[in-house]
Amino acid sequence: MATRSRNTEEKLSRRESILDAAEKAFIERRFDKASMGSIASSAGLSRALLYVYFRDKEDIHLGLSVRAARSLHQLMADFAAPCDTGVGAMYAIGKAYLHFYHHKKDYFRILTLSAGMRPSGPPVGEDCTDSEVDYAAVDEAILRLMIDAVQRAYDDGSLILPGSPKPVEIALYMRGSLHGLIMLQDGNGDLFDRHNVIPETWLENSLNLIARSLTPT
- Looking at every residue in the chain, the average pLDDT score rounds to 90
Same-domain status, 1 and 76: no
Same-domain status, 31 and 82: no
Average pLDDT value for residue range 136-159: 96
Residue 124's pLDDT band (boundaries 50, 70, 90)?
low
Same-domain status, 47 and 65: no
Same-domain status, 48 and 126: no
CATH number at residue 127: 1.10.357.10
Same-domain status, 48 and 62: no
Residue 187 DSSP class: T
Q: In sequence order, which ranges of 81-186 are alpha helices (DSSP H)?
A: 86-103, 105-117, 130-156, 167-186
Percent of the chain predicted with pLDDT > 90: 69
User: Per the confidence metrics, is the pTM higher than 0.95?
Assistant: no
Same-domain status, 23 and 83: no
Percent of the chain predicted with pLDDT > 70: 93
On the question of pLDDT at 153 being above 60, the answer is: yes
Same-domain status, 146 and 181: yes
Same-domain status, 62 and 30: no
Average pLDDT value for residue range 1-25: 81
Q: What is the pLDDT of residue 138?
A: 95
Instruction: Tell me the C-alpha distance between 179 and 175, whole Å.
Output: 6
Average pLDDT value for residue range 135-164: 95
Instruction: Tell me the C-alpha distance between 154 and 158, whole Å.
Output: 6
For residues 86 and 149, the answer to whether their CB atoms sit within 8 Å is yes
For residues 150 and 165, the answer to whether their CB atoms sit within 8 Å is no
On the question of pLDDT at 93 being above 60, the answer is: yes
Q: What is the pLDDT of residue 1?
A: 45
Same-domain status, 148 and 89: yes
pLDDT in tens, 53-71: 999 999 999 999 999 999 9
Domain with 5 in it: 1-53
Residue 8's pLDDT band (boundaries 50, 70, 90)?
confident
Average pLDDT value for residue range 10-24: 90
Buried b (16+ CB within 10 A) or exposed e, 90-105: bbbbbbbbbebbeebe
